[in-house]
Amino acid sequence: MTKHSTSEASEAYIALGANLGDRESTLMKAAELLDGHPDIQVLRSSNLYETDPVGYEDQPNFLNMAMALRTSLTPEALLKVMLETELTLGRERNIRWGPRTVDLDLLWMEGQVLDTPLLTLPHPRMLERSFVLVPLCDIVPEEDPTGLYEKAHAALDLMNGKEGIRFWKSGIWPNASVHSEN
């Protein structure tokens, strides 16, 4: 039996971003660490995009991607694993929306609407950010019954190309081996 084939497992979408160090290698390591967790399976990953910084502009360009996960964890437990993964990969918290080795945001989780000091679901800013929506639209299936596909595509249409976002390379998970940027 593969992991998470039980009915309690649910699907989640996360956004990944990096703009310090070897960005691509760090994103790949984040995918490996999450998939290596006994209660998480990476199902799909988007293409990689190079994006102009949004919010705080005086910082390097980001690489952004999104992944679909299957997990038996609660949303809070999944967020905890994600925050630990950021720390393992050298994330430091300095400037809000500032440069980071890696940033993992929990965008959406099947059937979960939450607003606590630690976790808001769906992610409150996900529909305002092309650097989230473009990768997300790569991996949400058109036949998705939850309405996420329509929401993400409609929000992206409204963004109307306002953010600088460029295709970098096709999905790095699970097939391709990662190449250093240096």
Ligand X SMILES: Nc1nc2c(c(=O)[nH]1)N=C(CO)CN2
> 179: helix, coil or strand?
coil
Select from 79, 103, 139, 152 the one that contacts ligand X (CB under 6 A). Answer: 103
Taking CB under 6 A as the rule, does residue 167 contact ligand ATP?
no
Select from 40, 54, 106, 127 the one that contacts ligand ATP (CB under 6 A). Answer: 106
Q: Is 105 a catalytic residue?
A: yes
CA distance 6 to 10: 9
Which of ligand X, ligand ATP, none does 51 bind, CB closer than 5 to 8 A by kind? ligand X
Taking CB under 6 A as the rule, does residue 115 contact ligand ATP?
no
Which of ligand X, ligand ATP, none does 120 bind, CB closer than 5 to 8 A by kind? ligand ATP
Q: Are 108 and 14 in contact (CB under 8 A)?
A: no
Q: Is 91 a catalytic residue?
A: yes
Q: Is 52 a catalytic residue?
A: no
Strand partners, 42: 69
Q: Are 117 and 79 in contact (CB under 8 A)?
A: no
Phi, psi of 72 (to 5 degrees): -100, 5
- Choosing from 22, 39, 52, 105, the catalytic residue is 105
Task: Mark residue 161 as left, alpha or beta (left: phi above 0; alpha: psi -120 to 50; beta: remaining).
Answer: left
Structure tokens, 138: 């790569």
Distance in Å, CB of 114 to ligand X, minimum: 19
Task: Mark residue 27 as left, alpha or beta (left: phi above 0; alpha: psi -120 to 50; beta: remaining).
Answer: alpha
Taking CB under 6 A as the rule, does residue 105 contact ligand ATP?
yes
Chain positions contacting ligand X, by CB under 6 A: 17, 51-55, 62, 64, 97, 103, 131
Q: So which residues are the catalytic ones?
A: 91, 100, 103, 105
Chain positions contacting ligand ATP, by CB under 6 A: 79, 83, 93, 96-97, 103, 105-106, 118-121, 123, 125
